[in-house]
Structure formats: structure tokens, C-alpha cells
Amino acid sequence: MSRVSVLKFIKRLERSVFTTREISELSGKSLSAVTQALNFLQKQKVIFKIYRGVWSEVTSNPLSPYTIIPFLFSGQRVYVSFLSALHIYGIIEQIPQLIYLAAMAHTRIVRTKISDFSVHQITPYFFKGFSWYKGTGNFLIAEPEKALVDCVYLSVRKKNQFGYFPELYFPKTFSFKKAKLWVKKIPDAKIRLAVNRKLDKLKSSLSL
């Protein structure tokens, strides 16, 4: 494939992030031919590889790591949660070193040129309470109450995860009552009780 033809298909997508498979399907060329052409464009500093099979055009605008999430995990649903979601909502000021994601896939770290992502497995019955960020369709994010419960839930199940919170700033719109409704969906009575106790402790600490 020529450089011009590859760029033509990239431009047709009308976004800066794209995958090798997308260009292959648009052009009708093999994955290996497309990969070779994309590698050439990367050497010319026209595009750069974010992760295996995921690319971006080189532009003057900084690329948000959140926008690449659907491309990194194509074929499966993941949503931003835990400390990352709490930071986006302004509940914690400290920026997490990793972007924390909830998924039904195995827990793992995904390292890219843009950011590193920490994926945590959530059981199917609890894989709920999220929607598209500000309705944009860019990435999925847990609602504030679910993000907090996800943290506490994981800290109870895995003692070394999210056992400590930085200082929390809950907006008036945050509802501990709604958070409790999420806790009720946990089928394991022992875990449910432990999560409830941690939430009560967090809530009481705010009124001190």
C-alpha cells in the first residue's frame, strides 16, 4: 500500500485514533500489508503506535488516554472506575498513576505509549452502573456512587487493593443511599456486610 492510500483511509475515519484492522477492512488489504504501510508512516512521524494494532495521527492536540480505551479493548466492554472515576468526578484531587478500569476479563496491566491501564475483574452480577462519559460515546465510566462501591468491594475481596483512600470531597449530589443500593446487589452476605461497614466508616468520617 502507498503512503497516500493509507492516509486516505485514515482520514475517512474522521478521528485521530484507529486500528490496523479498521484500515484493513476499509482498504480490503491484508493486515500484514497495512501494518507494513503504517510502520512506514510511523518512521515518517505522520502517525505513532499507541499499542499493538492501535495507532494515532501525530497532531498538535494532546491525546486523552481515556479516548483510546475502546480501541485497546475492542470486543469487550470495560469502564473507568475506582480511583480514576473518583478523580474525574472531583471526589479525590490526587491523580492516580494508572487509569483504573473494571472489566469481566482477567485482572492485568496494559502499558501503552500514552498511559498505563490497570484492569480489574468484576463479576458479571456487579458489572453495572456505568454509562458513556457526558454522553459523548468516547468511553464508559461508572457513576460516582458505583465507583466508590467498586473500590470498597475490591478492597474487601483483595486486601491489598484500594484499602486506603486519599482525602475525599463528596459533592452535594453524591448519594450514600444510592451507594447502599449498589451494595445490596452483592450476593455474598459476608462481603456485603464488610462493604457496608466500610461505607459507614467513610460516611461517619466526613461528619467529624
pTM for the structure as a whole: 0.89
Shared domain check, 84 and 43? no
Q: What is the reported pLDDT for 9? A: 92
C-alpha cell of 73? Answer: 479493548
Whichever domain contains 18, its CATH number is: 1.10.10.10
Domain count, the chain: 2
Q: What is the reported pLDDT for 181? A: 96
In 3D space, the residue among 127, 23, 111, 117 whose CA is nearest the CA of residue 66 turns out to be: 117
Q: What is the reported pLDDT for 2? A: 63
Report the distance separating Cα 73 and Cα 71, nearest Å.
Answer: 5
Q: What is the reported pLDDT for 4? A: 61
Extended beta strands in 74-198, E state: 78-80, 99-103, 108-111, 116-121, 130-132, 140-142
Q: What is the reported pLDDT for 159? A: 67
Per the structure, the complete domain to which residue 197 belongs is given by 65-206
Other CB atoms within 10 Å distance of the CB of residue 174: 17
Shared domain check, 122 and 32? no
Shared domain check, 72 and 31? no
Report the distance separating Cα 194 and Cα 192, nearest Å.
Answer: 6
DSSP class per residue in 15-84: SSEEEHHHHHHHHT--HHHHHHHHHHHHHTTSEEEEETTEEEE--SSPPPGGGGHHHHTTTS-EEE-HHH
* b/e map 35-55, b = 16+ CB within 10 Å: bebbeebeeeeebebbbebbb
Residuewise pLDDT in 10s, the chain (208 residues): 665 688 899 999 988 999 999 999 999 999 999 999 999 999 999 999 999 999 999 988 889 999 999 999 878 899 999 999 999 999 999 899 999 999 998 889 999 999 999 999 998 989 999 999 987 778 999 999 999 999 999 998 876 677 777 788 999 999 999 999 999 999 899 999 999 999 998 888 775 4
Contact 56, 47 (CB under 8 A): yes
Q: What is the reported pLDDT for 173? A: 93
